[in-house]
Amino acid sequence: MEPPQKAHLVPPLKQSPAGIEGRVNDAARLAALRDLGLLESGAPAALDRLSNLAARLLRVPIALVTLVGERDMIMLGQSGLDGELAARRELPLNRTFCSHAVAMRRTLVIPDTRREPLVRDNPSIEEHGVVAYAGVPLLLEDGEAAGALCAIDHDPREWTAEELAILDDLAATATEILNGRAALIHRGLHDRLTGLPNGELLVASCEGFIQDLGKGENVAVLCAGLDHFDVINQAFGSEKADRVLRAVSRRLVAAVRDTDVFGRLRGDVFAMVAPGIEDESEALTLAARVHRVLSDAPLDVDGEQLSVAATLGIAIGGGESNGADLVSDAANAMREAKRHQGRVRVAERGRAENAAAHLRMREALHVATRRDEIKAVFQPIVALESHRLAGYEALARWDSATIGPVPPDEFIPLAELTFDIIEIGELMIDRAAALAADLYGHLGEEVRVTLNASPVQLDRPGFAASVRAAFESYGLSGRSVGIEITEGTLLESGALERANLAELREFGVRVLLDDFGTGYSSFGYLRDFQIDTIKIDRSFVDRMLDDRHSAALIQAILAMARGMDMEVVAEGIETEEQAKLLRLLGCRYGQGFGLGRPVDARQALADGMASGFTS
């Protein structure tokens, strides 16, 4: 017998190196499948009946309604299978044909699989007698293909136009059934107010991600609680407050990557589950993005402009973690952040183990200043045009005799809790003054050394006086001092903080706003608070070369700063390209590993003498 002609409907596709898995697993499709929620929920019986109908109408031994998952194809409906396969209802993708219809998103017609290069190595030809195949993809509303409805024959055959039209109709029916089913599932797992996934679905998604983690990958859960939502609720009433929540949810959806799941946990708390996270800094970048989309522009609620901000908690876990724990850890971290007036807080890993470690660190920190374990290092702030030094930022370092070196992002928040920050702060003030005095002694001019001030310090009467006393005792004026505060500190500040800042300013101290862009970032308040210098957070500098949005934001910050007569320092400059672009944009000062790492006081003095300073 003449072999039937080669199927003309198969486009000349080569198998990609990643195989069929690589071709069907794009993020958008998998997200659509997850939204459908059918992967875990079992198949509606109607799909078996639909398969029977397809088999009868086309007179084929086998017909299937399939869902093509990440690694396996699931047979939601089947007719003509028996034995183990009928019970198992699953096949690895490389043994399937429907996966090709899904990858192409169009009808796949193969008169003889043994002669079709695309599939002729498929083991199912032998194992299950799949010799002729016709499959129509089940296209969801967003154009993604979930699976296929297919007819299979054990002998070669030409599929007629009439038969393909029947398959088309049945496939459309199968899609309708799936969508109806999805809508039902959707209702139980979604929040009525916003239509977003609810807590149950967020936890389930987190579990799903944890199971699929690659090596070295983590899942991050971000909880975002709106600030002062109780005030909004009281001022506007609950109906309008609901509209605020909806507007916020629309805004936050924009910060989510395609692979993330974003939902509402409860009340004014939203959560985002992000897979494939390498480390904490990547999660913090996501957090910065959430802060930014909220503060980019005020919300429009019934024609009224409303500024909102959120406080974030983050929990990160690897393959052994548990979805429910991660979500609740993130929510607790968020509450902690609110309590300490921070913008974001990362939950400590592995709680039981950490409670002990935390206590140990607390005790070690308490004796650290007395044991001389806290040191000050100084990172140069550089004029980008001339490459000359413009000053130094004092940064605390702790190398504990019992637990080794601990980064400031860990011990400073702890020291704020225990008030050890007061003692550490005094030590830093003294070291900064000593360096400024040395530089003055050798260069004959005052050089500014900036200090990071925690809200705990600023909230004490006498803080400004103690800074002034320390610098004056070395014969220095306020020109030798800068005080860095964060946006959170500024906005939550009370009368005492403001009085301290005013007193410092009177002494000639410059006030720098640290990590600008990660908090509220509302330009309006900069003037009210008389900020002298803005330090653009390093997350923007990090992304500015490959993300136009970051570059545009930096430009906007620079333009605004010029208009308000403020200086700008860009943080975290690591490469010459970054320095160059910043210079081009008109940024005068920079700081970063690419310009100079933090060094001890002796080195800072030597570098300062070698380079000289510019004002």
Which residues are at the interface with ligand C2E (CB under 6 A)?
379, 395-396, 407-409, 412, 428, 452, 454, 484, 514-515, 538, 571-574, 591-593, 598
* Cβ contact 406:362 at 8 Å: no
Binding range to Mg ion, per CB under 5 A, among 258-266, 281-289, 489-497, 514-522: 514-522
Residue 515: CB minimum distance to ligand C2E, A: 5
Looking at the Cβ atoms of 21 and 430, the one nearer to Mg ion is: 430
Among ligand C2E, Mg ion, none, what binds residue 99 when CB lies within 5 to 8 Å by partner kind? Answer: none
The b/e string for 369-400 (b: 16+ C-beta within 10 A; e otherwise) is: beeebbebbbbbbbbbeeeebbbbbbbbbbeb
Is residue 283 within 8 Å of residue 277, measured between CB atoms? Answer: yes
Pair 487, 518: CB distance under 8 Å: yes
Distances, alpha carbon 72 to alpha carbons 33, 134, 194, 424, in Å: 13, 19, 33, 57
Closest CA to 463 of 475, 451, 474: 451
**Identity of the residue, 74 or 509, whose beta carbon is nearer to ligand C2E in the bound complex:** 509
Kindly give, in sequence order, each residue whose CB lies less than 8 Å from that of residue 550, ignoring residues fewer than 6 positions away. Answer: 539, 540, 541, 542, 543, 544
> Within 10 A of 240 (CB to CB), how many other CB atoms are there?
16
CB of 529 to Mg ion, least distance (A): 17
Which C-beta is closer to ligand C2E: that of 133 or that of 463?
Answer: 463
What sign does the dihedral 168-171-177-181 (CA atoms) show?
Answer: negative
Ranked by CB distance to ligand C2E, the top (closest) residue is 592
Q: Which does 124 bind (CB under 5 to 8 A by kind): ligand C2E, Mg ion, none?
A: none
265 within 8 A of 271, measured Cβ to Cβ = yes
Judge contact between 139 and 125, C-beta under 8 A: no
Residue 220 CA to residue 227 CA, distance in Å, equals: 22
- Cα–Cα nearest to 207, from 40, 30, 349: 40
- Span near Mg ion by CB under 5 A; candidates 27-35, 241-249, 364-372, 452-460: 452-460
Judge whether 121 and 155 are in contact, CB under 8 Å: no
10 Å Cβ neighbour count for 93? 22
* Comparison of 163 and 514: residue with beta carbon closer to Mg ion: 514
Measured CA to CA, the distance from residue 223 to residue 312 in angstroms comes to: 5
Least distance CB 91 / ligand C2E (angstroms): 47
**How far apart are CB 457 and ligand C2E at their closest, in Å?**
7
Look at residue 321 and give the partner it binds from Mg ion, ligand C2E, none, a contact being a CB closer than 5 to 8 Å depending on partner kind. Answer: none
Nearest distance from residue 543's CB to Mg ion, in Å?
16
Closest approach of ligand C2E to the CB of residue 533, in Å: 13
The least distance separating ligand C2E from the CB of residue 591, rounded to whole angstroms, comes to 6
Task: Choose among ligand C2E, Mg ion, none what residue 396 binds, the Cβ cut-off being 5 to 8 Å by kind.
Answer: ligand C2E
Residue whose CB is less far from ligand C2E, 115 or 366: 366
Which is it for strands 404-406 and 389-400: parallel, antiparallel or unpaired?
A: antiparallel
Q: How far is the CB of 468 from ligand C2E (least distance, A)?
A: 18
Residue 124 or 450 with smaller CB distance to ligand C2E: 450
Residue with smaller CB distance to ligand C2E, 179 or 341: 341
Q: Find which of ligand C2E, Mg ion, none residue 446 binds, CB within 5 to 8 Å per kind.
A: none
Nearest approach in angstroms of CB 502 to Mg ion is 21
Q: Is 514 in the site for Mg ion (CB under 5 A)?
A: yes
User: Which of Mg ion, ligand C2E, none does 35 bind, CB closer than 5 to 8 A by kind?
Assistant: none
Closest Cα to residue 476, out of 510, 445, 431? Answer: 445
Answer for which of 79, 96, 321, 452 binds Mg ion (CB under 5 A) is 452
Q: Which residues, in sequence order, are bridge partners of residue 613?
A: 389
Site map (CB under 5 A) of Mg ion, residues 195-234, x = contact: ----------------------------------------
Residues 6+ apart with CB under 8 A from 460: 422, 496, 500
Residue 251: other Cβ atoms inside 10 A: 17
Task: From the list ligand C2E, Mg ion, none, pick the one residue 572 interacts with, judged by a Cβ distance below 5 to 8 Å according to partner type.
Answer: ligand C2E
With CB under 5 to 8 Å by kind, the binding choice for 438 among ligand C2E, Mg ion, none is none
Nearest residue (CB) to ligand C2E, 124 versus 457: 457
Among 338, 226, 321, 215, residue whose Cα is nearest residue 273: 321
In the complex, minimum distance from the CB of residue 537 to ligand C2E, in angstroms, rounded to a whole number? 8
226 contacts which partner out of Mg ion, ligand C2E, none, CB within 5 to 8 A by kind? none
Choose among ligand C2E, Mg ion, none what residue 72 binds, the Cβ cut-off being 5 to 8 Å by kind. none
Q: Minimal distance in Å, beta carbon 410 to ligand C2E?
A: 9
Six-digit token string for 611: 């380079």
Residues binding Mg ion: number (CB under 5 A): 5
Q: Of 489, 414, 420, 436, nearest to 458 (Cα)?
A: 489
* 487 interacts with Mg ion by CB under 5 A: no
d(CA 65, CA 152): 12
For residue 608, report the phi and psi dihedrals to the nearest 5 degrees: -65, -40
Q: Which is nearer to ligand C2E, 197 or 592 (CB)?
A: 592
In 3D, which of 373, 372, 456 has the Cα closest to residue 414? 456
CB of 394 to ligand C2E, least distance (A): 6
Smallest gap from Cβ 396 to ligand C2E, in A, equals 4
Of the pair 21, 567, the CB lying nearest ligand C2E is at 567
> Is 416 or 514 the residue whose CB approaches Mg ion more closely?
514
Closest CA to 61 of 170, 157, 136, 182: 157
Instruction: Identify the residue whose tokens are 């001389």.
Output: 372
Distance separating alpha carbons of residues 83 and 87, to the nearest angstrom = 7
- The interface partner of residue 318, options being Mg ion, ligand C2E, none and the CB cut-off 5 to 8 Å by kind, is none
In the complex with ligand C2E, the residue whose CB is nearer, 199 or 592, is: 592
Q: Which is nearer to ligand C2E, 249 or 452 (CB)?
A: 452
Q: Least separation, in Å, of the C-beta of 316 and Mg ion?
A: 22
Distance of CA 239 to the CA centre of its chain: 30
Cβ closest to Mg ion, residue 301 vs residue 541: 541
- The two three-digit tokens of residue 97, written as one number: 């044909």
Helices (H), 340-462: 351-368, 408-418, 420-443, 455-458
Q: Which of 484, 487, 497, 542 binds Mg ion (CB under 5 A)?
A: 484
The closest alpha carbon to 286, from 257, 321, 320, belongs to 257
The correct pick among 167, 515, 521, 596 for binding Mg ion (CB under 5 A) is 515
Chain positions contacting Mg ion, by CB under 5 A: 452, 484, 514-515, 571
